[in-house]
Amino acid sequence: LRDNRIELVRASWHELSISVSDVSLSDEGQYTCSLFTMPVKTSKAFLTVLGVPEKPQITGFTSPVMEGERMQLTCKTSGSKPAADIRWFKNDKEVKEVKYLKEEDANRKTFTVSSTLDFLADRSDDGAVVSCRVDHESLNSTPQIAMQVLEIHYTPLVKITSSNSWPEEGQTIVLTCESKGKPVPEPVLWTKDGGELPDPERMVVNGRILSISFLNKTDNGTYRCEAKNPIGRNSTEYVLIVHDVFNTLLPTTVIPSLTTATITTNVALTASTTTSATATSIRDPNALAGQTGPDHALIGGIVAVVVFVTLCSIILLGRYLARHKGTYLTNEAKGAEDAPDADTAIINAEGSQVNAEEKKEYFI
């Protein structure tokens, strides 16, 4: 061996050692050690030299990229022996759908390896980190990595949120237009039913917020929020329906009032009247279906029937007593039907009363 890079390290009758510095691919081959005895003895060993791959580079990226455009990123490395392995990652998640290409270098000992990542640009890729990793046995488990941060421009994404899911008359509602895009969208534009807001005094726009106070039925309609940037524009709509003020009425029941029948001493019955009232019940709109309370109308009707039957019984009793009214004779008047007058009747009455004058009775 005649090379300045080769040095004799140890020489004895038992051992001969050499060192090779600045190893190159040309150092690869079979090495022979000879012991000049009779006969000569030899020992051989084959030296394999690995080609370390160069640091990879990513090409094909132009910034910014519009949403929907096709992107082709290529990662390339040369000088590897054997051929290196290339893997793609997007935000630490490996991408499998890639194209792999291996070419032999001019020295016919090393390889140039390339891999292409092909995809459509999406707004979700904005800010994503795409990395190309080269693995090779010469790197001692420390791969070489090239990275590229994606910048995707896209039209605004618009969304309307409401502060009140059930707006009623007299209330205030706040509509917020949330827009996201790159570049950042310009201030949004609010319209109603395709035209300008009809009442600027009650409909106040502050940036992306539309506030409508003292709601009424004329505010019903379709409100549109539109946002735009240099890439394009987008819009969304919100249908506003103002509801009537909701009042809850408690159920009410009117109890029937009755007049009392009065009987005079001559058993004459005065006119009796019964005022019947209909129990009115207003159902609570919030009451769940299937829930029923006491039927006040039925109870009132039963009470009215009972009172009516009682009054009819009293009237019949009064008529019966009136028919038995008359004049009843005392013992003193027995046998005196033929007397011309009351005094003679008393004198001639049975019993022969002595003091007839003191026992006079008159029936009126």
Q: Which tokens hold the place of 325?
A: 């009214």
pTM higher than 0.85 for the full model? no
Which pLDDT band, with edges at 50, 70 and 90, does 361 fall under? low
Q: Has residue 255 got a pLDDT over 70? A: no
pLDDT tens-digit series, residues 181-240:
999 998 899 999 999 999 999 999 999 999 999 999 999 999 999 999 999 999 999 999
Q: Has residue 264 got a pLDDT over 70? A: no
Amino acid of residue 122: D
pLDDT of residue 296: 76
Mean pLDDT of the chain: 81
Residue ranges of domains in the chain, CATH in brackets: 6-47 (no CATH), 57-150 (2.60.40.10), 155-240 (2.60.40.10)
Contact in structure between 252 and 281 (CB atoms under 8 Å) = yes
pLDDT tens-digit series, residues 17-58:
999 999 989 899 999 998 888 899 899 999 999 999 999 999
What percent of the chain is predicted at pLDDT more than 70? 75
Contact in structure between 255 and 229 (CB atoms under 8 Å) = no
Q: Which is higher by pLDDT, 14 or 322? A: 14
Q: Has residue 295 got a pLDDT over 90? A: no
Q: Has residue 254 got a pLDDT over 50? A: no
- Report DSSP letters for 233-291, one per residue: EEEEEEEE-PBPPP-PPPP--PPP-BPPP-B-TT--B----B----------TTSPTT-
pLDDT of residue 117: 95
Cα–Cα dist 67/154, whole Å: 5
Residue with tokens 């019903």: 220
